[in-house]
């Protein structure tokens, strides 16, 4: 693979900046091996925890589509539709840590040049849970994982001390980071929820406590749609539904804005961009806003015939990025990373039609 595409991100050498996100494409050894064979630069494993997991008794993920002809959003199969989003209420991995560890060791032995990042999650608020974070991190690093991603962003956790429920709490973020950085010395990525008005504060707490990077975004909290005729939700179990996570194209502009916020507030820190990336154009936009690494989920899951790991997708991504960089004479993504940053300004800084505008205009929302 071309050295033009290789990147150093959080002190790790990636053969290309494209990584499968923590989700079904990285839920098993078989899928991860297939992903590496196809050319992905790294994977973040499906989140590994210590608490027992049992998913709902129905589909865990649906893919919603829309169309120009009848532009409503639905999972129903209709002609002439295009992808809109994924919606899921899947929990973290149901494979126990003891079963993950030999798998991770084997994957790293087969693909030593690919980056293997373990996503982990435990609770918060007491020493026992902090020990759980330490145990998860140390076990994964001991079998060869190159980095750890802390999942502080799953949007559908009932436990108030887990997932997105803790992402607002700067003390909790700091305490978990201190526990994990005491236990291991690999780079720690922190995956935060986009569903907070205090994202920049949460990111600051994470960076100050030793995070090597922020991964943004996890899915946005959302509900599936109800059919007006049948009064059924598009996904439900016994008539019940709960808030789940929206991913895919529909979240792209919002995810870009979150990455831009973090990258402008902390221009010398690292960000891994996630959310609605289907190909080179979306990946380019994340890099332009400052991301040094890109993660993919829905687009890989939706690809037919490749076992949901994006075999065609990674080929297209690397070909298109290579072609772009050759045409523009870039030798590294660092040469165009962050080029959009300075063009994001306050509303009042944008030119008006009249010459005597004094900058005091207050926009009506
Ligand atoms: C079915 C499904 C399961 C997911 N499970 C996890 C998970 O275990 N841990 C995690 O950090 N993110 C999880 N995610 C979130 C993805 O990693 C990613 O952040 C999100 O889908 C946005 O990226 P996308 O628009 O490319 O799908 C999951 C997403 C989906 C669709």
| Ligand 1 contact, 164 CB (< 6 A) | no
Give the count of beta carbons closer than 10 Å to the beta carbon of residue 289. Answer: 26
Q: Whose CA is nearest to atom 2 of ligand 1?
A: 23
Q: Does some domain include residue 154?
A: yes
Q: Find residue 244's DSSP bridge partners.
A: 222
> Domain total for the chain?
1
Asked if residue 1 has pLDDT above 70, the reply is no
Asked if residue 2 has pLDDT above 70, the reply is no
Q: How far apart are the first and last CA of the chain?
A: 49
Count of alpha carbons within 13 Å of 332, Cβ hemisphere only? Answer: 11
Q: Does some domain include residue 159?
A: yes
| Ligand 1 contact, 193 CB (< 6 A) | no
Q: Whose CA is nearest to atom 21 of ligand 1?
A: 247
Asked if residue 284 has pLDDT above 80, the reply is yes
Asked if residue 356 has pLDDT above 80, the reply is no
Q: How confident is the model at residue 160, as a pLDDT?
A: 80
Q: How confident is the model at residue 168, as a pLDDT?
A: 77
Give the mean pLDDT of 282-296: 98
The residues that are catalytic are 154
Query: Which of the given ranges, 29-43, 65-79, 157-171, has the highest pLDDT on average?
Result: 29-43
Phi and psi for 222 in degrees, rounded to 5? -165, 165
CATH number where 265 lies = 3.20.20.70
- Compute, in angstroms, the gap from residue 65 CA to the centroid of ligand 1: 18
| Ligand 1 contact, 20 CB (< 6 A) | no
Asked if residue 359 has pLDDT above 70, the reply is no
| Ligand 1 contact, 222 CB (< 6 A) | no
- Compute, in angstroms, the gap from residue 81 CA to the centroid of ligand 1: 23
Of 361 and 179, the structure prediction assigns the larger pLDDT to: 179
Cα-only R_g, the chain: 21
Q: What pLDDT digit, counting tens, does each position of 293-302 carry? A: 999 999 999 9
| Ligand 1 contact, 338 CB (< 6 A) | no
Q: Which atom of ligand 1 is nearest to the CA of 295?
A: 26
The whole-angstrom separation of Cα 193 and Cα 212 is 17
Q: What pLDDT digit, counting tens, does each position of 87-142 carry? A: 999 999 999 999 999 999 999 999 999 999 999 999 998 999 999 999 999 999 99
pTM for the whole structure: 0.96
Alpha carbon of residue 53 to chain centroid: 21
Q: What pLDDT digit, counting tens, does each position of 154-190 carry? A: 888 788 888 777 777 899 999 999 999 999 999 999 9
Q: Whose CA is nearest to atom 6 of ligand 1?
A: 23
Q: Give the residue numbers spanning the domain of 88.
A: 3-349
| Ligand 1 contact, 22 CB (< 6 A) | yes
């Amino acid at each position: 693979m071309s050295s033009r595409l290789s990147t150093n991100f959080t002190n790790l050498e990636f053969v290309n900046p494209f990584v499968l996100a923590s989700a079904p494409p990285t839920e098993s050894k078989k899928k991860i091996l297939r992903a590496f064979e196809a050319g992905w630069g790294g994977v973040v494993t499906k989140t590994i925890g210590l608490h027992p997991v049992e998913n709902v008794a129905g589909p865990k993920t649906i893919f919603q589509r829309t169309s120009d002809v009848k532009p409503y959003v639905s999972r129903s199969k209709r002609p002439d539709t295009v992808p809109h989003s994924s919606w899921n209420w899947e929990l973290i991995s149901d494979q126990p840590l003891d079963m993950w560890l030999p798998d991770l060791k084997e994957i790293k032995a087969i693909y030593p040049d690919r980056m293997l990042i373990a996503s982990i999650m435990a609770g918060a608020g007491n020493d026992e849970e902090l020990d759980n974070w330490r145990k998860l991190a140390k076990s994964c690093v001991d079998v060869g994982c190159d980095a750890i991603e802390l999942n502080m962003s799953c949007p559908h956790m009932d436990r108030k001390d887990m997932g997105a429920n803790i992402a607002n709490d700067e003390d909790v973020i700091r305490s978990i980071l201190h526990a994990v950085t005491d236990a291991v010395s690999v780079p720690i990525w922190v995956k935060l929820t986009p569903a907070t008005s205090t994202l920049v504060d949460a990111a600051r707490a994470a960076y100050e406590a030793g995070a090597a990077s922020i991964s943004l975004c996890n899915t946005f909290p959302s509900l599936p749609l109800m059919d007006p005729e049948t009064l059924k939700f598009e996904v439900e179990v016994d008539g019940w539904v709960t808030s789940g996570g929206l991913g895919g194209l529909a979240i792209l502009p919002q995810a870009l804005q979150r990455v831009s916020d973090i990258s402008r507030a902390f221009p010398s820190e690292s960000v891994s961009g996630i959310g609605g990336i289907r190909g080179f154009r979306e990946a380019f936009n994340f890099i332009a806003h400052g991301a040094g690494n890109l993660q993919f989920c829905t687009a890989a899951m939706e690809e037919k015939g490749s076992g949901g790991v994006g075999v065609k997708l990674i080929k297209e991504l690397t070909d298109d990025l290579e072609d772009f960089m050759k045409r523009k004479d870039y030798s590294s993504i660092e040469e165009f990373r962050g080029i959009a940053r300075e063009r994001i300004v306050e509303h009042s800084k944008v030119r008006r039609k009249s010459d005597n505008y004094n900058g005091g205009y207050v926009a009506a929302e």
